[in-house]
Structure 1
Amino acid sequence: MIHKIWANDKQFKAVEFSAGLNVILAERTLESGQKDTRNGAGKTTLLNIVHFCLGADLHRLSLPKDELQDWEFYICLDLCGTTLTAKRSVSNAKIIEIIGDVSNLLIAPEKDSEGVIFYKNDDWRNLLGKCLFRIQDEASAKYAPSFRSLVSYFTRKGADAYTDPFKHFRNQKAYDMQINNAFLLGLNWLHASEAQEIREKESATKALNAAIKAGIGATQGELEAERVRIERELKQKSDALKSFNVHPQYKELQDQANQLTGEIHDLTNKALMFRRKLERYERAVSEEHMPDSGSVEKLFLEAGVHFADSIKRSLDEAKGFHKAIVQNRKLFLEAEASQLKNKLSSSDASIKAACDKRADILKLLETHGALEEFSILQERVIEKKSELEAIKSRIADIRDIAQHKKDIKASKIELETKLQRDYEQSRTDWESAVSLFNENSQALYDEPGNLIINTTDNGYKFDVEINKSSSEGVGKMKIFCYDLMLVELMRQRDGIDFLFHDSSIFDGVDSRQRALALMHAHRKGLECNFQYTCALNSDMIPSDDFAEGFELDKFVRLTLKDQKPEDAALGFHFELAKKV
């Protein structure tokens, strides 16, 4: 229970609390509430200071840090059966000094050289979590209840904190909402933590699946067909690579083969010329014959001409000379033909020798290759292997996604089974919560409302309902009934014993319900030994609707005014930083 809050600066309006109802009253004399960048009397400022004393980060609070640099705030409260005072300064907010008996505290404090007992802020928060909420260390849980989130249900600040009973700010993560409400309601919050891990896996799987679809653009069947084709091509190239023999003089042999081919062409052309010339010579030899000299004599005899002996002798000599010429020509042609035959024979032998040698070289080149060709073939094999691995990787990704989806589906089914089992096992706890909410709502309305707790494959699902809940005022009373139920539950577990509400809780609420809520909270606070503190504007007091004998003035712990700066909570007005 919080006993008192004060500061080292006397401008601050110290306030003391007690069990039951505590009212922070703001008398509205100016229209400053319509100026959203200027604080009014300081109701919200006081709530921010409570958060500051309970370990909230200074930068998250709407406080004038520059004007408060020399300020120290004090809170006197009960922790683990001990009443102690904690001091936190604005200039050194990481350290919380402790005054009082610390022997029974669950986390031992530190002591400086001057004997000052203190906690670092993280340790202070851990201590508050253990003392006020009985938070246990859960090393295996990735997500767990945190003191700052839990206490925010009991010290709601800001308009967004009064829109949903299960959230203390508008953008609160679903897993944080589930885990903390499950913890407060006595349910197994570890299942809510597990549900968040499943959601993360599901979200990651969806993102990966989308990325794979965008990158692959093919079905598994299409990829499998491509894999088979590439494997076949790879085998062919790998086999060729295995049988590939590199000849060190491959280039020289290739040049020799090309040279021999040229020589063979030259020899063949020359042989063709020799053969044609031989054919002409042989044809000339066969056609060569001696001239018929007797036909001349016969012609002259028939003409009656007789040659003299001297003339006859000259003709005989001419015949002999001509015969010798023909004979010599024939012998020459026959000699030339014989020489051509020898050349042809030699040429054919050279051609055969060149062809045989070239054939041997080509055979060697056929069974061997150059190093460059081997390297190219090797690179192609490597490329095919890389291509195949890429295809296999894509196929594996698709298979993994399919398996992940199956695993997630199985995890959801298993989680829902565990949730349902624990739901039954913790029936006593949640039935108590349902009953208390029912009682609180019935204290305000003719018909009781309902706290609804469902189990799904996505974790716990919470809801509250009160007739006429479409009304803004009834919606706010859902939060009132829920928060009051929470502090009652925590008192059953010897946990937190205070509940703060800003004046936002009563915005739009019917005057009669406001009166009933304040009276009901006071009665419950006394019965269960907790304090209910609320801020009220003077124009919100439902004086005519209180029960006879109930005087609100008895519960006013602090009265703030906005007419003069010194009447505000801090003793001065300040400009709030505008939200960008």
Structure 2
Amino acid sequence: MIHGLYASDKRFKSVIFNEGLNIIVADRKEDSGSKDSRNGLGKTSLLNIIHFCLGSDLEKSSLPVEDISDWTFYIDIDLGGEKITAGRSIGDPGIICVDGSNLLNLPLVPEYNENKGFYYYKHKDWKNLLGISLFNIPSTTHIKYMPTFRTLISYFIRTGIDAYSTPFSFYKNQSAIQIQVANAFLLGMNWLHPIEVQKLKEKEKSIKMVDGAIKSGMRPSKGELEAEKVRLQHELEIEEKALSTFKVHPQYRVIQEKADSLTKSIHLLADENIILRRKLDRYEESVQSEKAPDNLSVADLYEEAGLHFSSALKKTLEETRNFHNEIVRNRKLFLEAEIEAIKNKIGNNEKYMENISSERAEIMEVLSTHHALEEYSMLQNRVTEKKVHLEKTLQMISEIQEMSEKKKEIRSERIELDSKIQRDFEESRPRWEKAVNGFNDNSQALYNEPGYLIINTPDGGRVSGNAYSFDVDIPRSNSEGVGKMKIFCYDLMLVDIFSVSGGIDFLIHDSTMFDGVDSRQIAHALEHGHYKARESGFQYICTFNSDMIPYSDLSDDFKADDFICLRLNDKNPEDSLFGFQFELSKRNTGI
């Protein structure tokens, strides 16, 4: 139970809460105009402060942080059978100071500051204590998606417009798994089943992603991967064998340059011999064609024609013939000498070519059996890269094979889990039937016909792949007002169940709960909330604008003003909750 709420700054309007019904009212002064507003008086801020004292994160959107940066808020509350005072400051929200007569009897013992002489909890430990004390959440269990105190308390202190749109969630876009787990927990059902279903969904999602990638061509098919595997294995076999016989010569590059030089020399000598042989052929042809003039002299020709030369002229002609013969002889001797020289040059070149060819053969033998270090490194890197590629290919093949097996496993697990959910649902029947009856009773107290809390399981209805599906139905539920009363009936049922079992024993609604609700149903809700709270020993705290309280529809023996624990008004700024007025751009979720 919450006994009181106050602050270190005296401007704050302290409030004392009692068992049963507690109403916080925002009055409107008589001379307020139509454009005046009671927003900023502090009704919603009061709920946000309670949330803050109960471990919510500090958000500027929910409190005027800049204006109250040096404030500390205090809450008097029963936890673990002990009444304690918890103080949390705006300036240091990570520490919650606690005071009480039996602090060491709490389920989670606070730490002690010897220098300053006070007991305190760190923020995380404070939330753990609240979870243990109010909802019996095991602090030693840590499971992904498991219910947390901050999630569960938000069903008992709803803040923000979105919190009043459906009974099963408290903020817009709340995840399906959080809704499933939280409501299963609150209704006394096995809350582990929604988590198990969620894990199956996540497995299915990963499989669908792989399937989608293969179908879209973004990822190779199993057949393509198998072909790639065969190619890589074959190439690796060849290259690894080459690597195992690879010999590195320390002077490989020097030897290779020598071999290149010898090869160049051989080519030059071969080219030179080609030119020399062509020259030799021409010289030999010239030697064959060189001969002395014909013995038939010019004089003989003239004599045959009947002409005679003088002896002196004949002598001159003879001398000329002899001169020509000498020229031919000398030319032949020159050509023969040149031919011999060319043959010698060709022979020398061939002999030299033979020698350097032999030397190059020896070098090429070394080059054919040895390699350069950088070539070895390149081959080694290529082998490594292909091994990595092969490993990735094998992994992708394995994933596809595993994916096929997982599909079968998931189908089998889902069938088994559905059966398990149904079995546990039947075993928990006494708990959830109590919730169903509680909701029905609450709705019948507001309307002529009872409403229904509907819970379906995989074998009991359509649940869209979830462990459970939740719904509520009240006749004429199409109207906004009846929709709000679904939430009222659901929340009142929850606090009734938990308060009887020794858990949380307070329920707090903002005035948003009653927006658009018929005044008669508001009256019924106030009276039923009061009697139910008194009967089961819990608190029902709600905020109202004064003109929303349906005095004329209340029973004669029910005096709403007797339950007003705090009045705020817009007559003066100091009459608001903080002692000054402010505006907030948005409201938080209360998580």
TM-aligned CA deviation for residue 483 of structure 1: 0.8
Structure 2 residue 429 is matched with structure 1 residue 421 = no
Q: 2:351 aligned to 350, 353, 378, which one? A: 353
Q: Is the 8 A contact 1:2 1:17 kept in 2?
A: yes
1:232-247 matches, cutoff 5 A: 246=252
Distance change (3 Å), C-alpha of 1:89 and 1:346: closer
Work out whether residues 175 and 196 of structure 1, in 8 Å CA contact, stay in contact via their aligned partners in 2. yes
Q: Which moved more, 1:210-219 or 1:220-229?
A: 210-219
**Aligned with 2:566: secondary structure?**
strand
**1:578 aligned partner:** 585
Query: Matches of 2:242 and 2:268 in 1, distance apart?
Result: 31
More displaced 10-residue stretch of structure 1: 6-15 or 128-137: 6-15
Question: 1:135 Cα shift?
Answer: 0.8
Q: Does 1:251 align with 2:252?
A: no
CA RMSD of aligned residues (A): 4.6
- Residue 533 of structure 1 aligns with which residue? 541
- Check whether the contact 2:135–2:503 (CA below 8 A) recurs between aligned residues: yes
Structure 1: give runs of 5+ residues left out of the alignment: none
Alignment-derived partner of residue 274 in structure 2: 268
- Residue pairs, 1:166-185, within 5 angstroms: 166-185=168-187
Deviation, 1:333, is 7.0
Q: 2: distance between equivalents of 1:100 and 1:297?
A: 165
Structure 2 residue 288 is matched with structure 1 residue 282: yes
Amino acid at match of 2:151: S
1:514-529 alignment, distance < 5 Å: 514-529=522-537
Which one-letter code corresponds to 1:78 in the other structure?
A: D
Q: CA deviation at 1:494?
A: 1.7
The alpha carbon displacement at 1:153 in A equals: 0.9
The reply to whether residue 511 of structure 1 matches residue 519 of structure 2 is yes
Deviation readout 1:335-390 (Å, 9 max, x if unpaired): 56764664454344335324534654665676537999874686477458647745
> CA offsets, 1:246-273, max 9 Å, x none?
4632212212221232222223322322
Secondary structure at the residue paired with 1:578?
A: coil
User: Which whole-Å CA distance do the structure 2 matches of 1:337 and 1:7 have between them?
Assistant: 131
Amino acid at match of 1:352: E
* Paired residues of 2:259 and 2:364 also in contact (CA < 8 A): no
Whichever residue aligns with residue 265 of structure 1, its letter is D
Select between 251-260 and 145-154 the one with higher mean Cα deviation: 251-260
TM-score w.r.t. the length of structure 1 is: 0.80
SS of match in other structure, 2:159? coil
User: 1:16 Cα deviation (Å)?
Assistant: 3.3
Identity of aligned residues (%): 36
* Alignment match, 1:4: 4
Q: SS at the partner of 1:59? A: coil
SS at match of 1:468: coil
**How far has the Cα of 1:156 moved from its partner?**
0.9
Q: How does 1:148-547 map to 2 (within 5 A)?
A: 148-196=150-198, 246=252, 248-285=254-291, 288=292, 291=295, 296=300, 339=337, 342-343=340-341, 345-357=343-355, 359-360=357-358, 363=361, 368=367, 375=374, 379=378, 382=381, 386=385, 389-390=388-389, 393=392, 396-397=395-396, 400=399, 403=402, 407=406, 410-411=409-410, 414=413, 417-418=416-417, 420-426=419-425, 427-428=428-429, 429-445=431-447, 446-455=449-458, 457-547=465-555
* Equivalent position SS for 2:262: helix
Gap regions ≥5 residues in structure 2: none
Give 3-state SS (helix, strand or coil) of 1:129's partner: helix
Q: Does the aligned pair in 2 maintain the 1:5–1:14 contact within 8 Å?
A: yes
When the two structures are superposed, what TM-score results if normalisation uses the length of structure 2? 0.79
SS of match in other structure, 1:352: helix
What amino acid is the match of 2:451?
Answer: P
Kept in 2: contact 1:254–1:365 (CA 8 A): no
**Equivalent position amino acid for 1:437 in 2:** F
Larger Rg: 1
Cα deviation 1:499-524 (Å, max 9, x = unaligned): 11112111111223222222322332
Counterpart check, 1:18 vs 2:18: yes
- Aligned AA for 2:271? H
CA contact (8 A) 2:61 2:584 kept: no
| Contact 1:191/1:415 (8 A) holds in 2 | no
Q: Do the aligned residues in 1 keep the contact of 2:5 with 2:76 (CA within 8 Å)? A: yes
Provide the rounded CA distance (Å) in 1 between the counterparts of 2:253 and 2:545. Answer: 101
2-structure distance, mates of 1:68, 1:140: 35
Q: Secondary structure at the match of 1:57?
A: coil
Query: More displaced, 177-186 or 112-121?
Result: 112-121
2:254 is paired with a residue of what secondary structure?
A: coil
Q: Measure how far apart 1:152 and its partner are.
A: 1.4
C-alpha distance 325-132 of structure 1, shift in aligned 2 (>3 A): same
Q: Which moved more, 1:447-456 or 1:216-225?
A: 216-225
Q: Alignment length, in residue pairs?
A: 570
**Aligned partners of 2:303, 2:89: CA distance in 1, in Å?**
162
1:104 to partner: Cα distance: 2.3
Code of the residue aligned with 1:431 in structure 2: it is E
Q: What are the Cα deviations for residues 89-125 of structure 1, in whole angstroms up to 9, with x where unaligned?
A: 4455423231222242111123333543333333222
SS at match of 2:137: coil
Query: Aligned to 1:156, what secondary structure does the other structure show?
Result: coil
> Residues 12 and 352 of structure 1: is their aligned pair in 2 closer, same or farther, counting only changes over 3 Å?
closer
**2:36 aligned with 1:29, yes or no?**
no
Please say which of residues 404-413 and 148-157 is displaced more in the overlay. 404-413
Alpha-carbon distance between aligned partners in 2 of 1:267 and 1:402, rounded to the nearest angstrom: 70
Distance 1:438 1:291, change over 3 A: same
1:269, 1:469 → 2: CA distance? 113
1:557 and 2:565 correspond = yes
- State the partner residue of 2:133: 131
Aligned partner of residue 126 in structure 1, secondary structure: helix
Residue pair 1:88, 1:97 contacting (<8 A) in 2 also: no
Deviations 1:262-286 (A, max 9, x none): 222223322322232222223435x
Amino acid corresponding to residue 172 of structure 2 in structure 1: R
Q: From the superposition, tell whether residues 325 and 188 of structure 1 become closer, same or farther in structure 2 (CA, over 3 Å).
A: same
Tell me whether 333-342 or 83-92 shows the greater mean CA deviation: 333-342
- Matched residue of 1:488: which SS? helix
Correspondence 1:82-161 to 2 at 5 A:
82-93=82-93, 94-113=95-114, 115-161=117-163
**Alignment partners' CA distance in 2, 1:508 and 1:412:** 47
| Stretch of structure 1 that moved more, 201-210 or 65-74 | 201-210
Tell whether the 8 Å contact from 2:7 to 2:74 is kept in structure 1 after alignment: yes
**Aligned residue in 2 for 1:74:** 74
Of the structure 1 ranges 215-224 and 351-360, higher mean CA displacement relative to structure 2 is found in: 215-224
- Please give the secondary structure, in 2, of the residue aligned with 1:535: strand
**Conserved? CA contact 1:267–1:350, under 8 Å:** no
